[in-house]
Amino acid sequence: MSPPMNDGVTLFTAPKPFVGHIGVIQRNALRSWAALGPRVEILVLGDEQGAEAASDEVGAAHLGGLARNEHGTPLLNDIFARAAEAARFDRIAYLNADIILIDDFLPAVDRVAAVFPSYLIVGQRWDLAVEELIDVENGGLQDLRTQLEREGRRHPPAGSDYFVYPRHRFPPLPAFAVGRAGWDNWMIYAARHAGLPVVDASAAITVIHQDHDYAHLPGGQIHYRLPESEHNVELGGGRETIFTLRDATWRLTSENLHKLGIAQSGVFRGLEAALISRWGSGRLARLTRLSFHPIETLKYVRARLKGNSGSAGREKSSANTADPVSGRPK
């Protein structure tokens, strides 16, 4: 294998089957990535229906045979490891397969890479209803910009739909299930625990998430309602490692790259995140979370005092009625 190059970015993804509306928006995403030009390489991983044909359409490399869990869901540790080995460029980026990029992506990555040898770039997305294939070669992306200005909705900063970092310089991932909740939050925590700058590029990189339903998931349920999402959170170290974009340590704008203070997400959250980042997941992190969340602490103490399997079962049942990432009722 030839040595990696440093002037471009390898984009990689593990798509859903290319059928129906999901197939349309995933092709739109791949077309937008290819439109970034020769400084971008695209890797499409997995054997989902239509993945190889869609890869051929945009000149992407296709890698099949992914490791899967007992539900048949591809595992992110295998996806990330295989992408790192196959990448032509030293800078690599995982993106969800429904994300459209435009021409501000590469310049933003260049600016961060010029400052830091190692980093994690993340950012907020825009949500937009896109129903048809985009004619990239005939002004389709410019039309999309106009539509975004008129109809785009800023998504809450709960997680991220893309992650850019130098390959082989990020901690190994647990065996997370792709397309389920929790792992994207863990990425931000893991970078901070490893001492890497976490750069929120929301103001510098425009990422467009195309609206879709969840018909591809069991029972058509949203991803955070599935047991695999709860398992992802457990694999990542529990709720203590659920970090969001508010826990980034740097911010990239069109004007500058600047360090964020500990209080940028609020003094209490800033201190909590700093302590958990320093100590890592485990008992100390759990105690830290309990210290900063008194209502949760009272529930925890109450469950411990009851100390019987019936009450433990009721606590677990109650916990399972909430989104494992946001804590909102399902």
**pLDDT at position 225, please?**
58
**pLDDT at position 214, please?**
58
**pLDDT above 90: residue 285:** no
Domains and CATH numbers, the chain: 5-252 (3.90.550.10), 293-330 (no CATH)
Distance CA 312, CA 296 (A): 15
Q: What is the pLDDT of residues 21-73, one digit of tens each?
A: 999 999 999 999 999 999 999 999 999 999 999 999 999 999 999 999 999 99
Question: Cβ-count burial of 198 within 10 angstroms (0-12 exposed, 13-18 middle, 19+ buried)?
Answer: buried
β-strand pairing of 162-166 with 99-101? unpaired
Distance CA 142, CA 35 (A): 12
Distance CA 234, CA 111 (A): 35
**pLDDT at position 213, please?**
62
Angle at 208 between CA 32 and CA 23, to 5 degrees: 60
Give the tokens for residue 93: 């980026």
Instruction: Report the mean per-residue pLDDT for the chain.
Output: 88
pLDDT band for position 238 (cuts 50, 70, 90): very high
- C-alpha separations of 90 from 2, 95, 164, 167, 168 in Å: 11, 16, 11, 6, 9
**pLDDT at position 103, please?**
93
**pLDDT at position 28, please?**
97
pLDDT band for position 322 (cuts 50, 70, 90): very low
Angle at 80 between CA 193 and CA 153, to 5 degrees: 80
Q: What is the pLDDT of residues 80-109, one digit of tens each?
A: 999 999 999 999 999 999 999 999 999 999
Q: What is the pLDDT of residues 244-274, one digit of tens each?
A: 999 999 999 999 999 998 877 788 899 999 9
β-strand pairing of 40-45 with 5-13? parallel
**pLDDT above 90: residue 286:** no
Helix (H, G, I), strand (E, B) or coil at 205: coil
Which is more confident, 284 or 106?
106
Nearest to 94 by CA among 153, 173, 158, 154: 173
**pLDDT at position 328, please?**
40
Residue 120 and residue 196 in contact, taking contact as beta carbons nearer than 8 Å: yes
**pLDDT at position 93, please?**
98
- C-alpha separations of 315 from 18, 232, 259, 296, 298 in Å: 40, 19, 40, 12, 12
Which is more confident, 327 or 95?
95
Whole-number CA gyration radius for the chain: 20
Which is more confident, 318 or 296?
296
**pLDDT above 90: residue 294:** no
Secondary structure in 3-state letters for 92-155:
EEEECCCEEECCCHHHHHHHHHCCCCCCEEECCCEEECCCCCCCHHHCHHHHHHHHHHHHCEEC
Nearest to 326 by CA among 222, 248, 174: 222
Nearest to 55 by CA among 13, 112, 91: 13
Secondary structure in 3-state letters for 234-265:
HHCCCHHHCCCHHHCCEEECCCCEEECCCCCC
- For residues 207, 212, 218, 221, the Cα torsion angle rounded to the nearest 10 degrees is 90
**pLDDT at position 177, please?**
96
In degrees and rounded to multiples of 5, residue 166 shows phi and psi of -75, 135
Q: What is the pLDDT of residues 176-209, one digit of tens each?
A: 999 899 999 999 999 999 999 999 999 999 999 9
**pLDDT at position 116, please?**
97
Specify the pTM: 0.86
| Cβ partners under 8 Å of residue 89, min gap 6 | 4, 5, 6, 7, 8, 9, 10, 41
Question: Cβ-count burial of 9 within 10 angstroms (0-12 exposed, 13-18 middle, 19+ buried)?
Answer: buried
